[in-house]
Structure 1
Amino acid sequence: MADLLPENQSDLIASDRVEGTLVFNPAGEKLGRISNFMVDKRSGQVRYAVLSFGGFLGLGHDHYPLPWSMLHYDVAMGGYVVELDRGALDDAPGHASDQRPRFDEDYGRAVHGYYGLIYPW
């Protein structure tokens, strides 16, 4: 039988535990929560964490894909930290909660380019 470690002591986390995790900026301001993440079907690599932001009483949230490489887990905060302020999300590539963009190469380039990153695929 395998030795069992508490999840917070492992480098791995179950997908259902990532969804709902808070996202903060370096100043500790809450930006939103991870609503889901996008996984490459062939490689199994997580490409984007989709940040849920805004809305009222769970309605009207906008969703912003953040390249996974931008997020860093902070144990003390109990969430992910990303180098953004709220204002950066105003013009960021995103979509309404009832929509899904085509996560194709053009969209990937737009998302990565917005955050000053090189699209690696």
Structure 2
Amino acid sequence: MPTTSGHTKAIRASRVIGTNVYNSTGEKIGEIEDVMLDKTSDSIMFGVVGFGGFLGVGEKYHPVPWKLLDYDEATGGYVVPFTREQLEQAPAYGISELTENDGQARDRSFTYYNDIAA
């Protein structure tokens, strides 16, 4: 059964990882490097968007709340409602920081995106 936007409700993580991410003006800003799952609620927390590096060196990882990533068939990638500058100012972490039990990195990311989306 499709979602309200016509997308499938189920997708393999292997199809998501490596998918390009664009801002609303069509500028490519990075790609999905990983997906963070919430084991307690059986949901996806973040698409981890990597950008800013060269061949993996100096790259920053930005956890974007999953609900803010909208797949666009025309581009074959995800579109976020933010500018590159807003994403560059967003909290950035190492992948391991996002899985720490204290949840501070995750909370800061959710707060940031909720504030700029308001």
TM (norm. structure 2) is 0.80
Task: Confirm whether residue 49 of structure 1 aligns to residue 54 of structure 2.
Answer: no
The farther-off stretch of 57-66 and 73-82 is 57-66
1:65-84 equivalences under 5 Å are 65-84=63-82
Unaligned residue ranges in structure 2 (runs of 5+): 1-6
What CA distance in whole angstroms lies between the structure 2 residues aligned with 1:55 and 1:103?
27
The farther-off stretch of 74-83 and 40-49 is 40-49
Deviation at 1:54, TM superposition (A): 1.1
What CA distance in whole angstroms lies between the structure 2 residues aligned with 1:104 and 1:21?
29
Report how many residues are paired: 107
**Does the residue aligned with 1:111 lie in a helix, a strand or coil?**
helix
- Please point out which of 25, 32, 56 is paired with 1:58: 56
What CA distance in whole angstroms lies between the structure 2 residues aligned with 1:78 and 1:90?
23
Structure 2 residue identity aligned to 1:115 = Y
Residue 22 of structure 2: aligned partner:
24
TM (norm. structure 1) is 0.78
Give per-residue Cα distances to partners, 1:96-115, cap 9 Å, x unaligned. 4xx52136443333111111
Residue 100 of structure 1: aligned partner:
96
Percent of paired sites with the same residue = 40
Task: Confirm whether residue 113 of structure 1 aligns to residue 111 of structure 2.
Answer: yes
What CA distance in whole angstroms lies between the structure 2 residues aligned with 1:53 and 1:103?
25
Structure with greater helix percent: 2
Unaligned residue ranges in structure 1 (runs of 5+): 1-8
Give per-residue Cα distances to partners, 1:64-110, cap 9 Å, x unaligned. 000111110101110100011111123211124xx521364433331
